[in-house]
Amino acid sequence: MDMIKRYIQAVHILLPSGHSQDILAELEEDIRSQVEDQQERVGRPLTDTELSALLKQRGNPLKVAASYGRQRYLIGPELFPAYWLVLRVAMAIWTGIWLVATVGMGAFSQVFQATHPALGLHPSALPLLDGLLQAAIWVTIAFIAIEQANAHYRFLDNWDPAKLPDLEPASDARNAVATRVGAAIELAMVALAIGWLVRATSWDMTWNWAGLHFALTPTWHPLFWAMIALSAYGIVLSMAKLLDPARTLAREVAYIIQDLGTIALFAAWTTAPILLEISGGGMTAEKAAEATRATNMGLQIGFQVTAVVLAVTTTIKIAKVIYRHWWRSSQIGRSAAQQLL
Amino acid sequence: MAHTIKSHDALESLRLELRRGCLPLAVLSALREEQYGYSLRKLLASQGLEIDESTLYPLLRRLESQGLLRSEWREQESRKKRFYKLLPIGEKILHQLTADWNAINVALGTVMGHKADPTEVPEPSSTSSTITL
């Protein structure tokens, strides 16, 4: 019988507060009634083994105590799928940023290469783990807050079927994977570009090759910030595409703005004087000036050609957007109106 | 083998779900006559409806807090026991639930293509018929 008291005590410790004495008294009475019942059946007092089996059958005290409590969740079954999705996306984004930044810095930054041997993957894994942990903590806290708020205000019940996202065309759905892969590559490229730019602005952008010394002139510096801003904008666009590959008008316009910015940047370069200085290699000052002039002319031509190509492709892109979103819809509207008439 | 275990688990889970919904109706019906906890469990078990005590007692508390039952501690056979009895409002609710149950029964019979016949249902094993929420 001592075992029954110990069982009741174990339930008591775990029982939610309020009415606990009442619950325990009833529980004990139920156990004693069951014991009496069994003793009557076997015609003798129960052994400790039999009593132990009887209590075991009733369940762990933790489970018994929990059955009297209100079911509580930090993140309930309604929100859990959304929580899990957001957590995975947040972790994937952070891992992507870390990977691209590490590889980019390892490829282009001499300081990073010096302080992080073997591409820095091992020493820079700590920021990755730290970021993943931070992402998990903040996403979890956010969802706990949403869960608690929803428990009070039930705002998840206030939704409008008319505001659900538009149906994606079947072909878009099929291409979603390809679009995401493209976005991931785009993201990697832009992050590499940022890595290169960070190096260019943080350290003297000079290098030696075949006995020659190359140095970017200060003319680059104001344009670097424009390039960084454009690259950061590109990262936001790629991430958005990675999360939701659906082609929308807003996204197409956002990409056109990026293209226009890039054209402006190349146009600015074409008007810049000397961008790159060449010296060394046993050249006289005159020869070096000649080499610098020729190289910069080549760069100018390259920038001009690139700007023109970009201008043409962007014009085509704008024309396509206008056709897809306005001209065709107005045609459809017109033909529908004609049919009605 | 794994497939058999999986389908057995699925059956148990569905069976539990099926029986869980009818539990308040069974308890309310049984409490038209006064019972204490253990006697109620025995009564239901004798009629083929074994209920885990950690399911029954919280349910009794819930039904009492909803005003459908009353309970009182009384001494019987030199031990204090808590007796439960259906209140008039509980009677009304039971009446409505019984009507709902019958309507579901008829609808199910129609959906399944025949009238529900309890004799067609195989006797479940004692362990699998215990209801645990």
Q: Which residue has the higher pLDDT, B96 or A90?
A: B96
Chain A residues near residue B57 by CB distance under 8 angstroms: 23, 26-27, 30, 67-68
pLDDT at B125: 45
* Distance, CA of B62 to CA of B69 (rounded, Å): 9
Is the pLDDT at B90 greater than 90? The verdict is: yes
**Candidates B53, B61, B133; nearest CB to A30:** B53
* Distance, CA of A337 to CA of B2 (rounded, Å): 62
* Distance, CA of A205 to CA of A267 (rounded, Å): 22
In chain B, where the domains are located: 23-111
Question: What pLDDT digit, counting tens, does each position of B44-88 carry?
Answer: 999 988 888 888 999 999 999 999 999 999 988 888 999 999 999
CATH number of B23-111: 1.10.10.10
Quickly list H helices, A161-284: 170-202, 220-243, 249-271
* φ, ψ dihedrals at A271, nearest 5°: -90, -10
Cβ-defined contact of B54 to A64 (cutoff 8 Å): yes
Chain A residues near residue B133 by CB distance under 8 angstroms: 67
Question: What pLDDT digit, counting tens, does each position of A186-201 carry?
Answer: 777 777 777 766 665 5
Cβ-defined contact of B57 to A68 (cutoff 8 Å): yes
A123 and A112 in contact (C-beta within 8 Å)? no
Q: Is the dihedral of CA B111, B114, B116, B121 positive or negative?
A: negative
Q: Where is average pLDDT lowest: A170-174, B4-8, B50-54, B120-124?
A: B120-124
Element housing B3 (H / E): helix B2-20
Tokens of A315: 């014009």
Is the pLDDT at B122 greater than 60? The verdict is: no
Cβ-defined contact of A37 to B42 (cutoff 8 Å): yes
A26 and B37 in contact (C-beta within 8 Å)? yes
pLDDT at B120: 54
* Distance, CA of B93 to CA of B98 (rounded, Å): 8
pLDDT at B106: 92
* φ, ψ dihedrals at B81, nearest 5°: -130, 150
Question: What pLDDT digit, counting tens, does each position of A24-83 carry?
Answer: 999 999 999 999 999 999 999 999 999 999 999 888 998 888 888 776 778 888 889 889
Q: Does A21 touch chain B (CB under 8 A)?
A: no
Q: What is the DSSP code string of B22-80?
A: THHHHHHHHTTS-EEHHHHHHHHHHTT--B-HHHHHHHHHHHHHTTSEEEEEEEETTEE
Quickly list H helices, chain A: 2-14, 20-42, 48-58, 61-68, 80-108, 110-115, 125-153, 170-202, 220-243, 249-271, 285-322, 328-340
With a cut of 50, which residues of chain A have pLDDT below it? 119-120, 341
pTM above 0.90, yes or no: no
Cβ-defined contact of B57 to A27 (cutoff 8 Å): yes
CA A312 vs. chain centroid, Å, equals: 33
* Distance, CA of A85 to CA of A231 (rounded, Å): 27
Q: What is the DSSP code string of A60-72?
A: -HHHHHHHHSPP-
pLDDT at B126: 43
